Chain A
Amino acid sequence: MTFAIVLNVLAEGVLTGLVYGLMALGLSVIFGVVRVVNFAHGEFTVIAMYATFVLFQYFRLDPLVILLPLAAAFFVIGYALQVAIINPFVGRAEHEQFILLVGLAIIIVNTLLMIFGPDARPVLLPYAFDSYAVGPLIVDKPRVLSAFAALVLAAALFGFFRFTRTGTAIRACADNLVGAAVVGLNVKRLYAFTFGLGMACVGAAGALLVAIADASPSLASTYTLLAFIIVIVGGLGSMAGALLGGVLIGVSEALAGFFFLPSMKSMFSFALLIVVLVLRPRGLLGRRA
């Protein structure tokens, strides 16, 4: 009996972790290529969550329907952001990038706070209480759908980087910036494209996260930190690492919430981060820089 419960907790952690992984994937892609640390990552995620909430509340659109259009919209936002604000900061000191994006994060959080207030806004899916029974496992339907969608999107992104010309060009920029410029790649445009892709992950993850948490402004900094922990645990710049890190953190959160207190769950994530940083500073699947 207890074993079945623990198994259920584990399954929940894995499913949640995959969605976290998709969000962190955005951060990893942006850092891996543009070398800018997006300290407003969680803030953008929460914007996507609120967008999903509004579209669901007023137009009765299912988050899974909203998913792709929202990802597309966030791609445009990311592209514009990179072109308008972030490009001049590429290659500048880390603390300068940090200030720029923290400024942006503060603006986002407080604008959301003014519009929606501090209360959490739940998205009450009609199938919120449906579940699948697989042997001793009983898993929530919304979580399963979200995790599945996250996996498909991550695979699509992976395929894009591996098999398309633009994807290959972006990888070239990440591997050798000077070389990429020498062979005539438009680095600035590719950077903007990459930032857009990273933000598309954020948009999609935001739409999927409403099945896991209620949208609230206070989630923003939590998610920024969460994305950082995941990416560092998995290895900055490694796409598979981001997903693996997401699953690890999801499982550690679920177990900590079950065996200890839900309020202590991020303590275990931070402990995991410290252990990984000390033992393997480049992350589990990260390459030596």
Chain B
Amino acid sequence: MITSSSIASWLRKAAAEVASHRDELTALDAAIGDADHGINLQRGFAAVLGRMEAGNPAEKTPAALSKEAGMVLVASVGGASGPLYGTFFLRFGGALGDQRELDAATLAAAFRAGLEGIRQRGKAELGEKTMIDAWQPAVEALESAVAAGKPLEVAMWAAAAAAQAGAEATTPMVARKGRASYMGERSRGHQDPGATSTALLVKAAAEAFSERE
């Protein structure tokens, strides 16, 4: 069962991942964007942690922690991934109600709600070289594994692998949304930074949700 501590652990691991991959994300974004994705996410997740650790995460519900993270991200990231990741966490949290213990099916539904939030906000579809190209395969893998009765950790690692594969699959794509879309054909040959950071987030979730209490 996933609790607030697992969510808190996820957010801490996510912050660590974006910090340690900051330069890589920046380099990817320099190729096809504004070169600020790494810095923006690092700032955003640092702010998420700052807010979280200032309170008492164990006392909040998973929904409250997620929504708080979402609000901080929309406020602090600065670039497009703020509203996008922020909306993800707001919708994720919104799907959790007041529950303090989350089973696999609930989590899968929350990830789906988050994905749909990103889709609504960014108006992108699969194949347009955006973070959707990592989120959608991840959520679908998670849902399939859960429906097949797999344990949560297995399902989460399947999601993480799908997110990674999805991010890598963006390399030959031509961007059809966002800043990179202004580059047209020149966006080919570079992995999408948003999809890359998504793969990091999903991996962080898999690690956090596999931890034994």
Binding partners A and B: no
Residues of A near any B CB (own CB < 8 A)? none
